[in-house]
Amino acid sequence: MAKWGQGDPRWIVEEREDGTNVNNWHWTERDATSWSKGKLHELLVGIIVENEAGRCEISELKQVEGEASCSSRKGKLIFFYEWNIKLSWKGIIKESGVKHKGLVEIPSLSEENEIDDTEVSVSKKKGDGDILKDLMKTAGTARVKEALGDYLKALKTGKEGIPCEPEGPFSVYPSYALYSGFPEFTMGMILPTKAMATQELTVKRKLSVNPLQIQASSPVALGVRIPTVAVHMTELFDTAAEQLYSIFTVKDLVQKFSKSPAVLEVEKGGKFQMFDGNITGEYIELLTNKKIVMKWRCRNWPEEHYATVALNFVPIPGQTELQLDCKGVPVCKEENMKFCWQKQHFEEIKGLLQLTTLNG
């Protein structure tokens, strides 16, 4: 029998009063199914592919059956997932304007197969339109596999391993899993050990440097550099470019689609405020019915940090394609930014256009 204090270190409980999963030796498991369904919807719905003959878009996640989980053993995270996914797509032939619909099916996405080997089948409803089906089989399938790869990357590593700081640039996560950029369902799975605590203390000391010292020794202003990403999205609207442009620049229309008060000074250098002050910014460029460029920030972003948002209005027969290019989005806010534009802008504007058509 081992002497007191000389036992197997896996069972030493001196660092935790409750002795729970000391040194992360025991098996723990978390369900990642709900998170995964939301992530798959976010990454797959809205995919657009286009060539000179036609344009296709994945419009709906019709079915997502399966499960995903994250397990911890000996201080390592292990991921299991198995999915049967069915998507709806719709497309338009540019020359004739004829529209077609179909399905994209992924019968088995699991850890047993690489993404490149995952089966993706494309079908179309009866009738002409094979040109769109071929577009989905080639470019569409490639984009779907790319999105599935992004899902697995987010599941296993979070956003490129970069921490998202909820309380400012000098905050440090007490949870190793979150500090390493893993999704929320991993919180607490990798518990602190002596080595982790020492590492975290070192990070805190480095980040607690006097901001004035940073300012004196570096061209960067107060604080630290914020990791950022660029976001690109496109959306089709069944209206003319002139009307879509007005929805972004006329106060009454902005208040209708945002369902909240707005303040707009629609001129170069003018300020704007939307969604009860959650979105603020400044107009950099206004090209009537063609382009809007703005300084843009969300209230919960690091103080004084702005992204640059450019909206390009591209007319096509009977519709307008809105091209969104956004640079300087904080890495940890990328998904929120996409959600904001897809749900709170694009979908609400489409609802407003439908209501205007019915009333007209």
**CA 69 from chain center: how many Å?**
20
Dihedral class, residue 203 (left if φ above 0, else alpha if ψ from -120 to 50, else beta): alpha
Q: Which residue has the tokens 């996405």?
A: 109
Q: Which residues contact 87 (CB under 8 A, 6 or more apart)?
A: 44, 45, 58, 60, 61, 62, 103, 104, 105, 106, 144
**CA 181 from chain center: how many Å?**
14
How many C-beta atoms surround the C-beta of residue 346 within 10 A?
Answer: 20
Q: How much is the pLDDT for 28?
A: 61
Q: How much is the pLDDT for 54?
A: 93
Q: Is 133 helix (H, G, I), strand (E, B) or coil?
A: helix
Q: How much is the pLDDT for 242?
A: 95
Instruction: Give the whole-angstrom CA distance, residue 217 versus residue 222.
Output: 11
Structure tokens at 348: 């609400």
Using a cut of 0.75, tell me whether the model's pTM lies above it: no
What's phi and psi for 191, nearest 5 deg?
-80, 155
Instruction: Give the whole-angstrom CA distance, residue 118 versus residue 167.
Output: 40
Contact 37, 64 (CB under 8 A): yes
pLDDT tens track, the chain, 360 positions:
444 444 444 444 444 444 444 444 444 667 888 888 888 999 999 999 999 999 999 999 999 999 988 776 665 677 889 999 999 999 999 999 999 999 999 999 998 888 888 999 999 988 778 899 999 999 999 999 999 998 888 887 654 333 333 333 333 333 333 333 445 555 444 444 444 444 444 444 444 444 444 333 333 334 446 788 899 999 999 999 999 999 999 999 999 999 899 999 999 999 999 988 889 999 999 999 999 999 999 988 888 899 999 999 999 999 999 999 999 998 888 888 998 999 999 999 999 998 876 565
Q: How much is the pLDDT for 301?
A: 87
Contact 39, 24 (CB under 8 A): no
Closest to 172 in 3D by CA, of 202, 195, 194: 202
Structure tokens at 146: 């790319």
Q: How much is the pLDDT for 69?
A: 84
Q: How much is the pLDDT for 213?
A: 41
